[in-house]
Amino acid sequence: MHPQQSASQSYVASLGARLAADECRTWWEDWAGVPVLVGRRADFKWRWMGTKLHLFTVAAAVPEITIPTIATFTDQVLAYAKKTKGGLPAGLQNGVAAFPVLVSDRVDPAAVRWAEAEQRNKWACMARPVVVDSAQQYVGTYRGTPAIGLVYSSYFERKAAQYFYG
Helix (H, G, I), strand (E, B) or coil at 159: helix
Q: Classify the C-alpha dihedral 67-70-74-80 as positive or negative.
A: positive
Pairing of strands 125-127, 130-133: unpaired
Report the alpha-carbon angle 28-30-100, nearest 5: 70
| Cα 54 → chain centroid | 12
Per-residue pLDDT of the chain (166 residues; tens, 9 = 90+): 444 448 999 999 999 999 999 999 999 999 999 999 999 998 766 555 557 788 999 999 999 999 999 999 999 999 999 888 765 544 445 678 899 999 999 999 999 999 999 988 876 688 999 999 999 999 999 988 766 666 677 888 899 999 998 6
> Rounded to 10 degrees, what is the CA torsion of 142, 144, 150, 155?
60
